[in-house]
Structure 1
Amino acid sequence: MSELIFDTVSVRYGGRRGLTAVDGVSLTVPAGKVVGLVGESGSGKSTLARAAVGLSPISAGRVLLGGVDVRKLPRRRPLQMVFQDPYSSLNPRMTIGESITEAIPRGVLPGRSARKEEAARLLELVNLDPDRAEHLPGQMSGGQRQRVALARALAGRPEALIADEITSALDVSVQGAVLNLVRSVQRQLDLSMLFISHNLAVIRYLSDIVAVMYLGRIVEAGPAEQVLTDPQHPYTRDLLDAAPSAHKSLFDLEPSATADAEPPDPHYPPAGCRYHPRCPVGPLVRTDREICLRADPVEDAASRRHAAACHFSESEGHEPAISRGASA
């Protein structure tokens, strides 16, 4: 296991008028811990993950694994990623066994027999029959393919693992089984893990630490229980308020008018606080809070609880939002 650090990472596409999908993100995944990264679609979560594994260009900053810049790691880097769509991440013409053995680093297990045995062991680790090694991806269900994708990632001998929305493409009936498997494997192998999801129930179930991302930036981060029971940023509270729970169904949700506002164009993010056009406690509601229009709260976020990127995070009274004790 190794610590995974995002050190002021930015990812920009296009020229001067291009899109900054990730803007100066700093985030630490401690060794052996699970960090849950949550945010709405388009917030930059997947782009940050892809930058870590070399699939998106890092425009500024760096990603460190065990203190080493990931761009200097060997091709078979000890940082692996499991993608959202298990079918597109597997070669449809390769058997399951071939896909797994291909991911085993060269020189680790010389000999075809040893590599086949390792593939069988990994299939058992993810609760699949080793006989499945002879099957093609198209012969398996979505949940089974996602288990294979996890086994393939583990074949790379990772010190850290990134899981990007790995249950969102699965039926609800199998999501719980996959999440239980992920939690079991992470604990058994003592992996450092960045788990990305827009589902707060999933984040709550798996994570030791929660980070909240909005419009390319981390706006709040801290111990999972603290962030989910006492959120400091208005965006985090809006996410929690919009999540159905045992006491609140989809039909009971009443988001504020500001929360319903159209998200800003990421090509032209607002000045000052990026959340102020949608903020239920910002200048649209409190006209005396003009500072939100001109000063960026990210600059001194480290001085606030949960490093909240909000000028007024500690001045807003609010009820505890969610209990982490329930299962996903």
Structure 2
Amino acid sequence: MINEWFHPAGSLAREGFDSVVDADIDGWTHTGFRSVTLGDSSPDEQHPTAIELAAAAVERVLVPLAGESFTVDYTLSDGSTGSRELTGRASVFHGPADCLYLPTGASATVSSAAGRIAIAEAPTAESRPVQFLPAAEVPVELRGSGISSRQVHNFATPAGLDCVKIIACEVITPGGNWSSYPPHKHDEAIPGSESRLEEIYYFETAVSRGSNAPEAADPFSLFSTYSSGAGEITTSATVRTGDIALVPYGYHGPLAAAPGYDNYYLNVMAGPDEERVWLISDDPAHGWVREEWEALEFDTRLPYTGDSAGSAAADSETSKEK
């Protein structure tokens, strides 16, 4: 079925959350995702200022999407309690935000006067300590080159938070650029070469920075997946803010940000392999394009920060390999 694994904004709303991805979705096992709008964030709707995350056998990473500040009051499985303030951002296109890791078995109350927050999840019985990662310490990577330039926030990859299973990052793709390219997969266990990982894509879109768009502008991007030996899948979707694409297996990419419209996606990955590692295999028909990047300049619109777009920051890692 075409777009069987694609879920438009609002279609996964449940229990006060804007979207929920968990094992209630048939065929979904290793990853989870929640997003929620809190407080006075929308002129058209009223939202509660707090929401509960029930204790469950999942580890969680909380990352603000938009809003100035959030309070997370939590109770761990041993009964101990704590509280952490998270500083947010104007939007997902304004650089990283603070992040918080909560171990398996923890419950929490998340509150904000006005904001939106995402929660990445993965089932696990193994525990890690609570971890706070301030925005200033989130590893920022400038990946690709030319029209494949994009900005990656590696907040919950092995370079960031020490999770048991979760591998999560944010990717900003300026208008007219391609991301999740070349198409690649991670659905086989090949030691040292490929790992088995489910993947969630949560999307947001916006008028490109500096553009003088009319009020009727309708930001969008294009996203696709296709089959591999691990299973049949076809996604060919126009994506907008709040949409979610699930990738249980198969090749995924490209994500193409339409000219004039920037794209953001939050990836959550986890799988059955013992080692927490992201290893991919390019589609052999398209992997050769990586060699072309070496002769191209990186897109000077990036990185996007809290103030404005600009040239590559000196402390950002630049990678043409991934």
TM normalised by structure 1 equals: 0.29
Higher strand fraction (1 or 2): 2
Which structure shows the higher helix fraction?
1
